């Protein structure tokens, strides 16, 4: 296993931060500073900040129903983070994708890097579904623009599939998409002068939120 992947798995750091820790001399392998791309074997002793670390023996993946008001980060910079409310057994797990602070719903966390890559790589085109509530009814023309033609954003065209949550309700929508650009749903509606009131993810690939309560988590098959 490459050293940056080893450190990331053992510490909860991202691979980018693991690389930084290696470059800054915080990591040793058998008492020596390692090279950036060094492979780690089962007999190597690896330390981070003077403490021996090792990846978990088992693969764990959980579904977490993220409440609104929490950031998906270890460093909230003054805001509450999901790690403030996750059970201690899951604090080393890393999120698969993101939900912004004001959004809620299904968030996957895992220590399985291959699974995370499979779910987030653009080539995989995983379906994501959200329950979205607007502050005002969506006009039919704007519905058509979003679904059929897409809306031009700074980072490209955004096309979303929209389905009413119930007949005659033009405020509450189920939004289905295959991308995952930063705040894409909010920005798409904002481009047409609509503000999102609530945004709640219910599906990510083969994973569904079901009846899991807000703030709760459950282990699932990876």
Find out whether 35 and 22 touch, Cβ atoms under 8 Å: no
The answer to whether the pTM exceeds 0.85 is no
| Residue 43: both structure tokens together | 């007999």
CATH architecture of the domain with residue range 3-52: Roll (3.10)
Q: How many Cα atoms are found within 13 Å in the side-chain-facing hemisphere of 138?
A: 31
Task: Supply the pLDDT for residue 11.
Answer: 82
- Residues of the chain scoring pLDDT < 70: 221-222
Beta bridge partners of 133: 172, 198
As annotated, the active-site residues are 100
| Residue closest to 107 by CA, chosen among 222, 221, 215 | 215
Domain boundaries, the chain: 3-52, 61-121+209-220, 127-204
CATH of domain 61-121+209-220: 3.30.70.580
**What is the dihedral sign for C-alpha 26, 27, 32, 37?**
negative
Task: Supply the pLDDT for residue 221.
Answer: 66
Rounded to a whole number, what is the distance in angstroms from the first to the last CA of the chain?
20
Task: Supply the pLDDT for residue 222.
Answer: 52
Please state which of the four CATH numbers 3.40.50.1820, 3.30.70.1560, 3.40.718.10, 3.40.50.720 is assigned to the domain occupying 127-204: 3.30.70.1560
Backbone angles phi, psi at 90, to 5 degrees: -110, 10
Same fold, 61-121+209-220 and 127-204: yes
């Amino acid at each position: 296993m490459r050293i940056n992947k080893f450190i990331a798995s053992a510490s909860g750091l991202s691979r980018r931060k693991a690389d930084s820790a290696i470059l800054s001399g915080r990591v040793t392998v058998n008492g020596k500073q390692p090279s950036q791309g060094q492979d780690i074997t089962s007999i190597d002793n690896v330390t981070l900040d003077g403490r021996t670390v090792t990846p978990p023996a088992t693969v764990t993946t959980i579904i977490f129903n993220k409440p609104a008001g929490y950031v998906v980060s270890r460093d909230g910079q003054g805001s509450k983070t999901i790690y403030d409310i996750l059970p201690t057994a899951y604090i080393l797990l890393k999120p698969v994708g993101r939900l912004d602070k004001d959004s809620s719903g299904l968030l996957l966390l895992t220590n399985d890097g291959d699974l995370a890559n499979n779910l987030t790589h653009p080539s995989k085109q995983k379906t994501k579904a959200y329950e979205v509530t607007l502050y005002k009814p969506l006009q039919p023309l704007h519905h058509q623009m979003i679904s059929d033609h897409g809306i031009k954003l700074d980072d490209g065209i955004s096309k979303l599939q929209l389905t009413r949550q119930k007949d005659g309700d033009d405020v509450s929508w189920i939004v289905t998409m295959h991308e995952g650009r930063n705040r894409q749903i909010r920005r798409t509606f904002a481009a047409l002068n609509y503000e999102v009131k609530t945004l709640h993810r219910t599906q990510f690939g083969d994973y569904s939120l079901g009846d899991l309560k807000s703030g709760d988590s459950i282990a699932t098959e990876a």
